[in-house]
Amino acid sequence: MSSKSIISLAVVGHTNTGKTSLLRTLTRDQKFGEVSDRPSTTREVSAVSLLADSVPVMTLFDTPGLEDPMGLMELLEADQNTYEDPVARIDAFLATDHGAGSFEQEAKVLRQLRKSDAALYVIDAREPMLAKHREELRLLAECGRPLMPVLNFVASPESHPEQWREGLARMGLHVLADFDTVVFEHEAERSLFAKLEILLDAHKPAIQSLARFRDAQRALLVEAACRTIADMLIDVAGLRVRVEAEGDLSVQSQQIEEVVCKSEQTCVDDLLTLFQFDLGAFAPPELPLEQGQWALDPFDPEALKVFGVRTGSAIAAGATAGVSVDAMLGGASLGAGALLGAGAGTVWSFYQSFGKRWVDELRGYRELSVEEQTLALLSARQIALLHALLRRGHASTSAVEAKASRGWVSKNLREAVMRARAHPDWSALNSGDRGPRPDQALVPLMAALRAAING
């Protein structure tokens, strides 16, 4: 794509309305610019391009906030010269010293808008529409570029988007987008691009390609996140730790707890990496993720209560009894069992299911595995986290809020996890092989997770 066809959009608005936040969320970069609940945080114009398959499609210009539109209008109206049109008046202002430097910030905004194809006018929908906003819109309209208002913080109970819509309609601005930079909605982003297509008809194919790319990325992101969770659940469900039968169970339980906690933490890290969040930089949230870590470990009865899971011992001794013959045969292929006919497979299965356990017991060992309620908790927590991450804008600086579900999220999920529990051979924690988990483990679990996320 040639540089000529790259859309340039100025992101403008009153100070502290979330212009940089909008860019953070659109770029999925929580380190973009500086964000604070104060005026004049952004004092320079920065450019960043949105890419589709590494090709720049749209360059967004983050601008300083407008702070004194009424003062600037007074200055412009005091100018005795006559101009061909309002745009010429703005150009004349930009050619001067900007009111002896008093309106330097405003000049930056207007200069950038004059060079851009259009502007997104970011509004803090929690504030009422005031005369200064109307003056700003008049000033920006004088730049001769299409303007699309973007209502930010619409998810806040303090917001009053209807008042803004009415006010903006009175000013002739009917095409506007709701886009909360903190509570992210993929649909809202898609709608923002669709409305930009109306505003920038000549760039419609480029905007559509960007929207398609983002849809595809989103779908892949969800898929990868489900896979991350599925891998962890398969590993933990099938985990077996062989310990001496005479040993102290509480000490032995710690071994398995450590492995499970580490596994879950790896899963959380992977999810945060996938979504490009760095929670370490944030203030500790209340519940349940602190500095990228769960506040309560999955063996803590309190954590189980929080997620509505029946409390009890989180360790099952001798769990290999749960390994069933049919599950064992599920791993066979080519219909070889029918060829054998003599029941050798059944004998082997029986040994694996029960005999091995008896042999271990005779030799003075027992096997520990993770109990169902802990698996339910792990599933619920990861799904809650994924839900939260899917709705988290990169401008958000608050805690991750994961809404606790009650027990198993679905019957299918329980079945898929419990099937993995019957298969220690599927768990990478037992074999050390970090290769792809078998399809018979992944397919039902992924389907259940997708349903839980979309449900």
Partner 1 sequence: MEDVTQITDRAQRLYVELVCRKEEAEGHPAIAPEAEAQAIKNGGSFAERILLRAVSLPDAEHSMIQVQQVLRTGRQVLVGALLIAAFLGVAAASSALQGAGSVSLPMILLTLIGVNLASLVLWLMFQLLGRRSGGLIRSIWQKLSARFVDRANIPKGQYRFDLASVAELTTGRGGRWRLGVMTHAVWLAYTFAGLLSLTVLLVVSRYELSWQTTLLSPEGLHAWADKMSYAPRLLGAAGPDVLPLNGELSAEHRQGWAIWMLLAVVSYSLLPRLIALVLCWILAAREQAGWARDLSRPGFARLRARLMPDHSAVSVIDADESDTPSANFPDKGLAVELPESGLFAVFLERAGEERDADLTWLDPVEDAASLQKAVEEIQAGRPSGLLVFIAATATPDRGTVRVLARLVQPADVPVWLVLTALPQLKARGAPAFDTRVADWSATAQRAGVQGGVIAWDDRRLLEPVPEAMQQ
User: Of 226-285, which residues contact partner 1 (CB under 8 A)?
Assistant: 226-228, 231, 266, 269-270, 273-274, 276
Interface of this chain with partner 1, residues 313 to 342, rule: CB under 8 A: 328-329, 331-334, 336-337, 339-340
Residue entry with tokens 């001798």: 318
Antiparallel, parallel or unpaired: β 241-244 and 289-290 = unpaired
Residue 191 in the binding site for partner 1 (CB under 8 A): no
Considering the complex, state which of residue 128 and residue 284 has its C-beta at the smaller distance from partner 1: 128
Interface of this chain with partner 1, residues 19 to 38, rule: CB under 8 A: 26-29, 32-33, 36-38
Asked if residue 64 has a cis previous peptide bond (ω within 30° of 0), the answer is no
Residue in 17, 30, 9, 26 with CA at minimum distance from that of residue 64: 17
Supply φ then ψ for residue 381, to 5 degrees.
-65, -45
Supply φ then ψ for residue 315, to 5 degrees.
-120, 135
- The span from the CA of 270 to the CA of 259, in Å, is 16
In the beta sheet, which residues pair with residue 294? 289
Considering the complex, state which of residue 101 and residue 455 has its C-beta at the smaller distance from partner 1: 101
Residue entry with tokens 């927590």: 381
Minimal distance, residue 250 CB to partner 1, in Å: 29
Residue 65 in the binding site for partner 1 (CB under 8 A): yes
Minimal distance, residue 141 CB to partner 1, in Å: 17
**Residue 114 · residue 90 · CB < 8 Å:** yes
Neighbours of 196 (CB within 10 A): 25
Quick one: DSSP state of residue 203?
G
Minimal distance, residue 1 CB to partner 1, in Å: 12
**Residue 256 · residue 241 · CB < 8 Å:** yes
Interface of this chain with partner 1, residues 81 to 140, rule: CB under 8 A: 101-102, 104-105, 108, 111-112, 126-128, 130-132, 135
Minimal distance, residue 111 CB to partner 1, in Å: 7
Minimal distance, residue 407 CB to partner 1, in Å: 27
- The span from the CA of 9 to the CA of 58, in Å, is 7
Interface of this chain with partner 1, residues 394 to 453, rule: CB under 8 A: 425-426, 431-436, 438
Supply φ then ψ for residue 343, to 5 degrees.
85, 15
Minimal distance, residue 27 CB to partner 1, in Å: 4
Minimal distance, residue 312 CB to partner 1, in Å: 31
Residue 44 in the binding site for partner 1 (CB under 8 A): yes
* Helical H segments across 95-245, by residue range: 104-115, 131-141, 161-170, 186-199, 204-237
Total binding residues toward partner 1, as defined by CB under 8 A = 90
Interface of this chain with partner 1, residues 143 to 182, rule: CB under 8 A: 158
Residue 189 in the binding site for partner 1 (CB under 8 A): no
Question: Helix or strand or coil: residue 155?
Answer: coil
Residue 348 in the binding site for partner 1 (CB under 8 A): yes
Interface of this chain with partner 1, residues 350 to 369, rule: CB under 8 A: 352
Q: Which of 10, 19, 35, 64 binds partner 1 (CB under 8 A)?
A: 64
